[in-house]
Amino acid sequence: MKTGIEYEDSLRKLNLQVFLFGKKVANVVDDPIIRPSMNAVKLTYELAEKPEYEDLMTVTSHLTGKKINRFTHIHQTTEDLVKKTKMERLLGAKSGCCFQRCVGMDALNALSITTYNIDKKYGSDYNSRFLRYLEYVQEEDLVCDGAMTDPKGDRSLPPHQQADPDLFLRVVEEREDGMVVRGAKAHQTGALNSHEIIVMPTISMGEKDKDYAVSFALPSDAQGITYIYGRQSCDTRKLEKGTIDRGNQCYGGHEALVVFDDVFVPWDRVFLFKEFEFAGELVENFASYHRQSYACKVGVGDVLIGASQVAAEYNGVHKVSHIKDKIIEMNHLNETLFCGSLACACEGSRQPSGTYLVNTLLANVCKQNVTRFPYEIARLAQDIAGGLMVTMPAEDDFNSPDVGHWLRKYYAASSSASVENRMRILRLIENITLGTAAVGYLTESMHGAGSPQAQRIMIARQVNMDEKKKTAKHLCGIVE
């Protein structure tokens, strides 16, 4: 397995085409805006080196029998699924942000199921291709970016009816040695920190959309791939000399638009090619795994609850009854999210491929709660923190010889806390609920792994309503 340092060094060897603020980024690893997100991924390697986290962060490969990072593992038991949930909470708490590696793990597991099912129907060799690729990922301990979300264009139209056919990624040329694809994938979490890009279709498809029913993997610096960095609130604070206004001192997340401009894909890296009837299965398997993965928000919630308690103590209100009750409510909501992720893991089942899949109904229930509870937790955190969280002057003002003494005088609160420490905790709450980390905590909670309506559709589809009706009629004596 790679160490954290080895991971960072491996990124330096990539030749990524990245644009930020309209200019090409020469050094992605050391760019001050991008680097905090790299640090968060690096943490997934660093914790795997520590004996106290070995049980959660590492596992034995079912392919090679070697010790591997759990992020490259294919789930072999429900215990694996449970440990995945616990690992994600741990990392969310240690980083206070999105650590970006879940999406690749979920893509690998979804492909392990769907490629097997395609082969069973058509006698193809997708699964053997995939397993060779998986062994490579495990041996090299790689970060994979799972690329599913297309720009979509007019949402009322299927891919083949779009005014611009490239608004969904598609095959534009077939060759003897591979295929050429064109299109883009949006909202790609951690793409710049990944060694590999795993592309999947974004919706169920019909026969007329078969050119869009493709899945493949490529090195992240393959020719023709361009990354355009997505802006986040308060992102330029990372360019400032001081550190207090950043909130989270070390870590962060990022998103990017990934453009595929006539990119060549060799056949041994293709896992789905126009078998349109399996596009929906792959999407649903991935979405179910990824909806479980929002245990990461529980870890970030742990940080936010802790920060809120500290802010209450610094403000001198931690013993007030309504403040204590709000902290209780935050913990209640956060642990409920954890329950949902654990439940869908415990109720997982073995698929024909041998891979264990979460209970898809409970995974959707888990994610539906994630679209709501973090917003209430954030609201309560802001309530407890007070208005100074968003009106506080800059760190440079506190250090100013002209006005700094006034700020230190008038922003003093409890005698147990320095003004600087009060600034720091308020900036952390701001970062999680409004700043760069809010992308990974709030907006991602809403739209990541599908919008809230996507989960409601799956819940309606998977709930056994006939059985519920039958039970109710039996208990009240209805005979039809």
Q: What type of residue is 226?
A: T
**Average confidence (pLDDT) over 120-142:** 98
Domain at 4-277, CATH homologous superfamily? Butyryl-CoA Dehydrogenase, subunit A, domain 2 (2.40.110.10)
**90-125 tens-digit pLDDT:** 999 999 999 999 999 999 999 999 999 999 999 999
The set of catalytic residues is 98, 102, 189, 255, 290, 294, 296, 444
Q: Where in the chain is the domain with CATH 1.20.140.10?
A: 291-475
Q: Where in the chain is the domain with CATH 2.40.110.10?
A: 4-277
pLDDT band at 166 (very low <50, low <70, confident <90, very high): very high
Q: Quote the pLDDT of residue 91.
A: 98
Q: Quote the pLDDT of residue 439.
A: 86
Residue 414 pLDDT > 90: yes
Task: Classify domain 291-475 at the CATH class level.
Answer: mainly alpha
Which residues make up each annotated binding site for FAD?
Answer: 189
Q: Are strands 170-174 and 178-185 parallel, antiparallel or unpaired?
A: antiparallel
Residue 332 pLDDT > 90: yes
Q: Which residue has the tokens 């395609």?
A: 118
CA distance readout (Å), 97 to 28, 57, 60, 107, 173: 19, 18, 27, 21, 40
Residue 326 pLDDT > 90: yes
**431-447 tens-digit pLDDT:** 999 988 888 899 999 99
**220-268 tens-digit pLDDT:** 999 999 999 999 999 999 999 999 999 999 999 999 999 999 999 999 9
**Average confidence (pLDDT) over 307-315:** 98
Q: Quote the pLDDT of residue 179.
A: 98
